[in-house]
């Protein structure tokens, strides 16, 4: 079915695992990325990102010749676009990466291929891809203006949890939305290679909106927990105890509060809905604002705790956006660490992140911040701030924290 192979455009946290899973099922995969270092590492059988079991899968696929990487787009039977979709400063979607990927694919199309957008995107982005391709390749017919297109175009959003990507790529249900029913079927054939979950066929716009809805629902739920935490702090009640008690109701399941929301999905996707219907998306907008404001409140608490000390040493435990991964995208922990160092220039800020080897770029220009091991940070710290509940931090005992100011944003040490 895929004699020419499948090309995956973008070899990051989604594209690389997807490539590895396809390759382990016997499909020849041709990965494409603009990052030459990523390409070199992958072709050597190494992975430039951390994800459990990904290194083994990539090494095996490369060794068998099933998976190769390049900076150039090859010919293929299917093209999967898995590039970033950030937002601009005004929270408007930035589709420049998707457009660049589309432009790179166009010369390799000859008719008969399927182009699949995996990147999370605003409604009607898949339609826009078809229109872009049509302008680039007027010699071919595309589904937005032909009932019998030469090239099929569809959207299949990723739905995985970092840290479980290799498992959930296979086991999770997939939503596949084509610009025509035939486009949906052609795209579904790609996922039938490895997906053991149910494959749900729909139209492209519904598939795009479904992914945004999933993450917006989670964002609103997190915002409720974070706002509840703020209220409880204000009136002197233990929010963790309140949530524990409330969740004994059979129809209540309140999430745990935290220092904010990060990652490439939940912190970004709701803004795509707001941008699509700004006057109507009131609850979704407020939830985003609540969660975006949470890091600032944590910083205020840290500054207050350190305020009585002349040259405080502050240990910030965790920089990733969630536990047990190395992903720093949109991480509130990273933002908090930066703001603390900026607001307390006389302090020494010790960043502890067991999943990265070097200080992140956003912190390298700060003289009073350094990346250290947990065993070095704890004895020196006057203030200990838990920002991410990595497994390594669960071993910290009350004796390790004795005599220190402690700010536990995750409720790990209650």
Query: In terms of residue numbers, what domain contains 369?
Result: 215-228+255-408
Place of tokens 């099929």: 152
Domain assignment of residue 39, yes or no: yes
Q: According to the model, what pLDDT value does residue 292 have?
A: 95
Please state whether beta strands 78-81 and 67-70 pair in parallel, antiparallel, or not at all (unpaired): unpaired
Q: According to the model, what pLDDT value does residue 19 have?
A: 98
Residues 299, 394, single domain; the answer is yes
Domain assignment of residue 236, yes or no: no
Residues 340, 262, single domain; the answer is yes
Establish whether 156 is a catalytic residue. no
User: Mind listing the pLDDT tens digit for each residue in 300-325?
Assistant: 999 999 988 889 999 999 999 999 99
Closest among 177, 187, 182, 179 to 114, alpha carbons compared: 187
Domain assignment of residue 21, yes or no: yes
Q: CA 409 to CA 411: how far, in whole Å? A: 6
Establish whether 265 is a catalytic residue. yes
Q: According to the model, what pLDDT value does residue 312 have?
A: 96
Q: Is the pLDDT of residue 232 over 90?
A: yes
Average pLDDT over residues 248-267: 94
**Which is the catalytic residue, given 156, 183, 265, 369?**
265
Domain assignment of residue 11, yes or no: yes
**Which is the catalytic residue, given 156, 211, 316, 369?**
211
Mean pLDDT across the chain: 96
Q: CA 318 to CA 361: how far, in whole Å? A: 15
Q: According to the model, what pLDDT value does residue 209 have?
A: 98
Q: Is the pLDDT of residue 414 over 90?
A: no
Q: According to the model, what pLDDT value does residue 50 have?
A: 85
Strand, helix or coil at 386?
strand
Average pLDDT over residues 272-282: 96
Q: According to the model, what pLDDT value does residue 251 have?
A: 98
Residues 188, 259, single domain; the answer is no
Residues 288, 170, single domain; the answer is no
Average pLDDT over residues 287-294: 97
Q: According to the model, what pLDDT value does residue 89 have?
A: 85
Q: According to the model, what pLDDT value does residue 231 have?
A: 97
Average pLDDT over residues 100-113: 98
Place of tokens 């995956």: 8
Q: According to the model, what pLDDT value does residue 300 have?
A: 96
Domain assignment of residue 51, yes or no: yes
| Distance set, CA 161 to CA 69, 88, 125, 340 (Å) | 24, 24, 23, 29
E strands, 169-264, where? Answer: 174-178, 199-203
Residues 86, 52, single domain; the answer is yes
Going by the DSSP 8-state scheme, the letter that residue 256 receives in this structure is P
| Distance set, CA 411 to CA 267, 275, 404 (Å) | 21, 34, 17
User: Mind listing the pLDDT tens digit for each residue in 208-229?
Assistant: 999 999 999 999 999 999 999 9
Sign of the four-CA dihedral 176, 179, 181, 183: negative
CATH code for the domain of 74: 3.40.50.720
Q: How many CB atoms lie within 10 A of CB 242?
A: 15
Radius of gyration, CA atoms only, the chain: 23
Domain assignment of residue 35, yes or no: yes
Q: According to the model, what pLDDT value does residue 268 have?
A: 92
Q: Is the pLDDT of residue 106 over 90?
A: yes
More confident position, 414 or 410:
410
Q: Is the pLDDT of residue 297 over 90?
A: yes
H-state helical runs in 44-136: 54-63, 96-105, 125-136
Domain assignment of residue 243, yes or no: no
Place of tokens 């039977």: 77
Query: Are 404 and 384 within 8 A, CB to CB?
Result: yes
Residues 288, 347, single domain; the answer is yes
Place of tokens 């296979």: 170
Residues 184, 54, single domain; the answer is yes
Domain assignment of residue 248, yes or no: no
Report pTM. Answer: 0.91
Quick one: tokens of 32?
A: 């494409």
Average pLDDT over residues 359-364: 92
Sign of the four-CA dihedral 281, 286, 291, 296: positive
User: Mind listing the pLDDT tens digit for each residue in 47-103?
Assistant: 998 899 999 999 999 999 999 999 999 999 999 999 999 988 889 999 999 999 999
Residues 129, 184, single domain; the answer is yes
140-132-28 Cα angle (round to 5): 70
Residues 18, 152, single domain; the answer is yes
Residues 156, 223, single domain; the answer is no
Residues 313, 183, single domain; the answer is no
Binned at pLDDT 50, 70 and 90, residue 139 comes out as: very high
Q: According to the model, what pLDDT value does residue 264 have?
A: 81
Place of tokens 């479980």: 164
Q: CA 70 to CA 98: how far, in whole Å? A: 18
Please state whether beta strands 152-155 and 174-178 pair in parallel, antiparallel, or not at all (unpaired): antiparallel
* Number of domains within the chain: 2
Q: According to the model, what pLDDT value does residue 147 have?
A: 85
Average pLDDT over residues 1-15: 95
Residues 219, 160, single domain; the answer is no
Quick one: tokens of 151?
A: 């090239």
User: Mind listing the pLDDT tens digit for each residue in 327-355?
Assistant: 898 999 999 999 999 999 999 999 999 99
């Amino acid at each position: 079915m895929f004699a020419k192979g499948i090309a995956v455009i973008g070899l990051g946290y989604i594209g690389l695992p997807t490539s590895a899973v396809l390759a382990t099922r016997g499909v020849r995969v041709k990965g494409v990325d603009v990052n030459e270092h990523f390409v070199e590492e992958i072709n050597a059988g190494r992975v430039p990102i951390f994800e459990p079991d990904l290194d083994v899968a990539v090494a095996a696929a490369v060794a068998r010749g099933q998976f190769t990487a390049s900076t150039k787009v090859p010919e293929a039977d299917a093209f999967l676009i898995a590039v970033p979709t950030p937002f601009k400063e005004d929270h408007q979607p930035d589709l420049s990466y998707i457009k660049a990927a589309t432009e790179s694919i166009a010369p390799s199309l000859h008719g008969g291929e399927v182009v699949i957008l995996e990147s999370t995107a605003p409604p009607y982005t898949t339609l826009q891809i078809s229109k872009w391709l049509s302008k680039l390749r007027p010699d071919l017919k595309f589904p937005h203006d032909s009932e019998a297109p030469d090239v099929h175009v569809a959207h299949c959003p990723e739905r995985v949890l970092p840290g479980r990507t290799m498992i959930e790529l296979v086991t999770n249900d997939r939503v596949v939305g084509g610009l025509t029913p035939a486009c949906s079927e052609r795209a579904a054939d790609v996922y039938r290679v490895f997906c053991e979950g149910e494959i749900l066929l729909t139209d492209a716009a519904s598939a795009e909106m479904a992914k945004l809805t999933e993450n917006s629902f989670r964002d609103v739920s997190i915002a409720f927990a974070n706002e509840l935490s703020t209220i409880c702090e204000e009136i002197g009640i233990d929010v963790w105890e309140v949530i524990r008690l409330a969740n004994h109701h059979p129809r209540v399941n309140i999430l745990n509060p935290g220092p904010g929301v990060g990652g490439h999905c939940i912190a970004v996707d709701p803004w795509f809905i707001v941008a699509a219907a700004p006057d109507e998306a009131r609850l979704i907008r407020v939830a985003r604002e609540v969660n975006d404001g949470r890091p600032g409140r944590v910083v205020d608490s840290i500054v207050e705790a350190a305020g009585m000390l002349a040259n405080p040493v502050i240990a910030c435990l965790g920089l990733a956006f969630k536990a047990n991964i190395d992903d720093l995208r949109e991480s509130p922990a990273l933002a908090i660490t930066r703001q603390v160092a900026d607001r307390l220039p006389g302090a020494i800020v010790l960043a502890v992140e067991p999943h990265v080897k070097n200080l992140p770029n956003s912190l390298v220009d700060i003289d009073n911040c350094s990346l250290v091991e947990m065993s070095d940070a704890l004895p020196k710290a006057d203030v200990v701030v838990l920002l991410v509940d990595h497994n390594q931090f669960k071993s910290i005992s009350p004796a390790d924290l004795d005599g220190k100011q402690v700010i536990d944003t995750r409720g790990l040490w209650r």
